[in-house]
Structure formats: structure tokens, C-alpha cells
């Protein structure tokens, strides 16, 4: 009964457009009141204890750092750097979009921010050059999903806190898979562009212009270098790195690029605080949701059902990928990570899969959820930055989803893609 009330209540509240975090909390309260198996203080304890985590402090700092750099002119400079390298090739604007999203992902840590920052600049340019509207929208939305895959990633931080995995190890493990996803989108862009005659830019940069663009872009590129280099070099922890990123971001935005002023700081901090509050509510209520599941022994039942279905590691991994892709279509990413990690992690570790490798697999699956209807947060952002309906961009995204799923399977069944760099670095 408790399980039916928990999931039924959550689905009902989410279906009537109650925010995900509140839906989770209301479902938990419904179970507590109806069954009386635990005291009402159970919910309050979950809300507080789940957020009492030093590694979790990295999330609001990375959110603030991404907001600062997004407002500070970083996206335009990244686009210029990408244009110098890839703009002249077939489908140059599409390739530049993917590369710029990958670079911005190493700063923002979120998918929607990447779509908004890069898409608002690149979509008008692609349409002006005759690119199909659906293709342009689908490319921006899918490329933005890389924001959750390439470190520093908020989703990765939440997984590490939930699973008890080293953030440093998962950050290093996410770099190559994120690049693989980006390359797969670039390959599809090349094929589609060649078929439809989308030529590269005719502009040729002089050596002086190239050096000027590189010089202007150095402060932007240095941010992920400082963050990740400091973490992997043992200079500071991921949480401390997030704080360093905030300080560096403000220095660059205020004094180097000078595209924000001190009067903008309050608005930036407020916007970041609002985004952080949403995440913390989801984390807190998800903790209560997960504890009810544990009391009802749902994780064990699901694990036994999946393992009992097949003893083949390949079959189980395929089933888990399908499950995560399905969940990503309707559940908010962070809530899915917090709820599903305690359920699925014991399954994969039982047949020897590394928690770090599984973390990469889970993050990519749920990141693809950013572009899968009906939730598809990136799709909604795309409709806001260009004149396209949700239905139209949902149809256009299908080949991009297929491309990313193929890359996902490659990452799932070739562990060295995820574990090679952490092993090399000694994590």
C-alpha cells in the first residue's frame, strides 16, 4: 500500500503541474499520514540531514560560477575560438555550435544554461545561412545536453554525494565520454550538412586576427583549466575548486571582459540562489522519498527482479539503459539520480561494474532526458530562443537522440572510455 501511495501520489502531483521537488515531498507526506509507519518528523529530518554535506556545497558554487561567466561575455568568445577551428568545414555553423557547447559545458555545468547561452547566438546565424529550422533547434538542444556530461557537472556532484563516490574520480571519468558524445553529434552534423548542402564559412582569418581571438579567449579557456587542473593536481578539493571558480569568474567578468558591473552582481547572485534553492528542495524531498523506498524494501525487490530476469551482464546493462532513458523522459534529472542510485548501484556492483563507470552511464542517460519529450527541459529552452513549436523541435530531435544513444551504448560496453583517464591519473 505504501509503495502504491508513494508512486501514485508522486505521479498525480507531477501530472497536475506541481513542481517536482514539492511533488516528491507531498507524496512522502501522503504515505506518512496514511500509514503512520513513521513519525512526521521523518520528513523534516530528511530535509536537513540530506543537505548536511561538504561535497554538496560544490553545486551552488558551480551554479554561481556558470551564471557569472555566462553573463560575462564568455559564450561569444568561445564561439569565436570554435569558428576559427571549424567554421570553414561543411556545416561549419553546426560544428561550431557543438564545439562551443562542449567548451561552455566545462564552465556552466548545466544543460539549459548551455542551450540559452550558445543557442541565442548560433540559431539566428544558422537560420540566416539557410539551415533547416528543425535541424538548428535539434542541434542546439542536443548539444546543450553535454552541459551535464562534461565536468564540472551539477548532476555528477549529486550522484557522487548520493553514491559516496569521489567527485574527482567521476569528473575525470566524464571528460572522454563527453567528448565522444560531442564527436558523435559532429559526425551526424557533417553527414546532414553534406546531404543538404550547408557549406562552411567563406571568411578567412589572418594570423593577426587568429592571435587576437586566442588572446581574447584565454581568460575564458583558463577557467576550466584552473578548476580541473587544480582538482586533479591535488591543489584543492572539488568543493574548494567551485569556490575558486566563483572568484575567478567575477574577476574575469568585472575587470577583464568588463561585460558586467557591480550593480549586476546582486541580480546574478539572486538568480543563482533561486536555482540552488530548487535543487536543494529536490534533494531534500528526494531523500525522504528514498527512505520510504528503503523501508518498503523496494530497491531489493527491483534488484532481484532485474537480476532474476537474466544473468547476462550485457542484458542487464541494456535493461538499465532502457530504464534510465525512460525515466529521463518524465522525471527531473537530480530527483532521478537521488532516487535511483541506491536502487541500481548494488545491481551493477554485484557483477563487478565500477561505481564511477556506472555514474558516467547514469549521467549520460539522464542528460539525454534533457532532450526527450515530454519533460525535455532543453526543448523548452529552445522554443523560447527561437520561433519553433515544441512539437516541431520534438520531431527534429529524434535523429540526435538516436546518435547520442549509439554513443551511449559504446560508452557503456567499453569501460576504458570512462575509466582510462581516472586510472591514468591514479583515482
Helix 111-128, helix 92-108: angle, nearest 10: 160
> Measured between alpha carbons, how far is residue 391 from residues 38, 123, 156, 194, 374 in Å?
44, 18, 30, 26, 10
Nearest of 55, 54, 13, 19 to residue 31 by alpha carbon: 13
pLDDT at 187: 94
Cell of 99: 564545439
pLDDT at 179: 92
pLDDT at 260: 84
> Measured between alpha carbons, how far is residue 111 from residues 99, 165, 273, 292, 421 in Å?
14, 22, 18, 30, 24
Nearest of 320, 299, 350, 307 to residue 413 by alpha carbon: 320
The set of residues, in sequence order, having a beta carbon less than 8 Å from that of 136 and lying 6+ positions away, is: 94, 122, 123, 126, 127, 386
Q: Distance between CA atoms of 154 and 67, rounded to whole angstroms?
A: 13
The set of residues, in sequence order, having a beta carbon less than 8 Å from that of 30 and lying 6+ positions away, is: 5, 6, 9
pLDDT at 46: 67
pLDDT at 191: 92
pLDDT at 404: 94
Spans of all domains in the chain = 55-425
In the predicted model, residues of the chain with pLDDT beneath 50 are none
For the whole model, what pTM was predicted?
0.80
pLDDT at 173: 93
Cis peptide before 116 (omega within 30 of 0): no
pLDDT at 111: 66
Amino acid at each position: 500500500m505504501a509503495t502504491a501511495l508513494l508512486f501514485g501520489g508522486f505521479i498525480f502531483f507531477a501530472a497536475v503541474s506541481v513542481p517536482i521537488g514539492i511533488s516528491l515531498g507531498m507524496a512522502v507526506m501522503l504515505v506518512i499520514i496514511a500509514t503512520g509507519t513513521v513519525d512526521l518528523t521523518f520528513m523534516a529530518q530528511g530535509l536537513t540531514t540530506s543537505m548536511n554535506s561538504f561535497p554538496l556545497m560544490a553545486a551552488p558554487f558551480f551554479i554561481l560560477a556558470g551564471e557569472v561567466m555566462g553573463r560575462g561575455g564568455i559564450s561569444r568568445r568561445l564561439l569565436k575560438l570554435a569558428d576559427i577551428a571549424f567554421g570553414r568545414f561543411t556545416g561549419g555553423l553546426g560544428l561550431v555550435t557543438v564545439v562551443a557547447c562542449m567548451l561552455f559545458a566545462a564552465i556552466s555545468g548545466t544543460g539549459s544554461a548551455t542551450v540559452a547561452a550558445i543557442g541565442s547566438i548560433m540559431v539566428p546565424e544558422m537560420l540566416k545561412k539557410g539551415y533547416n529550422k528543425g535541424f538548428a533547434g535539434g542541434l542546439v538542444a542536443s548539444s546543450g545536453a553535454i552541459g551535464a556530461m562534461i565536468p564540472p557537472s551539477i548532476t555528477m556532484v549529486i550522484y557522487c554525494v548520493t553514491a559516496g563516490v569521489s567527485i574527482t574520480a567521476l569528473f575525470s571519468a566524464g571528460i572522454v565520454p563527453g567528448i565522444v558524445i560531442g564527436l558523435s553529434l559532429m559526425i551526424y552534423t557533417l553527414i546532414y550538412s553534406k546531404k543538404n548542402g550547408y557549406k562552411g564559412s567563406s571568411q578567412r582569418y589572418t594570423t593577426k586576427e587568429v592571435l587576437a581571438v586566442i588572446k581574447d579567449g584565454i581568460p575564458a579557456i583558463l577557467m576550466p583549466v584552473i578548476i580541473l587542473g587544480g582538482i586533479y593536481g591535488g591543489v584543492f578539493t572539488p568543493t574548494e575548486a567551485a569556490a575558486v571558480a566563483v572568484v575567478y569568474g567575477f574577476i574575469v567578468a568585472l575587470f577583464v571582459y568588463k561585460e558586467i558591473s557591480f550593480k549586476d552582481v546582486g541580480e546574478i547572485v539572486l538568480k543563482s540562489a533561486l536555482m540552488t534553492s530548487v535543487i536543494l528542495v529536490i534533494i531534500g524531498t528526494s531523500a525522504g522519498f528514498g527512505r520510504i523506498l528503503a523501508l518498503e524494501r523496494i530497491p531489493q525487490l527491483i534488484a532481484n527482479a532485474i537480476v532474476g530476469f537474466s544473468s547476462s551482464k550485457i542484458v542487464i546493462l541494456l535493461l538499465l539503459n532502457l530504464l534510465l532513458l525512460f525515466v529521463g523522459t518524465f522525471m527531473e534529472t537530480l530527483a532521478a539520480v537521488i532516487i535511483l542510485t541506491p536502487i541500481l548501484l548494488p545491481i551493477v556492483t554485484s557483477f563487478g561494474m565500477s561505481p564511477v563507470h556506472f555514474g558516467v552511464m547514469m549521467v549520460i542517460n539522464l542528460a539525454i532526458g534533457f532532450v526527450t519529450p515530454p519533460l525535455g527541459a532543453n526543448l523548452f529552452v529552445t522554443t523560447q530562443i527561437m520561433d519553433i513549436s515544441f512539437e516541431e523541435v520534438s520531431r527534429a530531435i529524434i535523429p540526435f537522440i538516436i546518435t547520442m544513444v549509439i554513443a551511449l551504448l559504446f560508452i557503456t560496453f567499453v569501460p576504458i572510455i570512462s575509466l582510462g583517464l581516472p586510472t591514468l591519473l591514479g583515482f
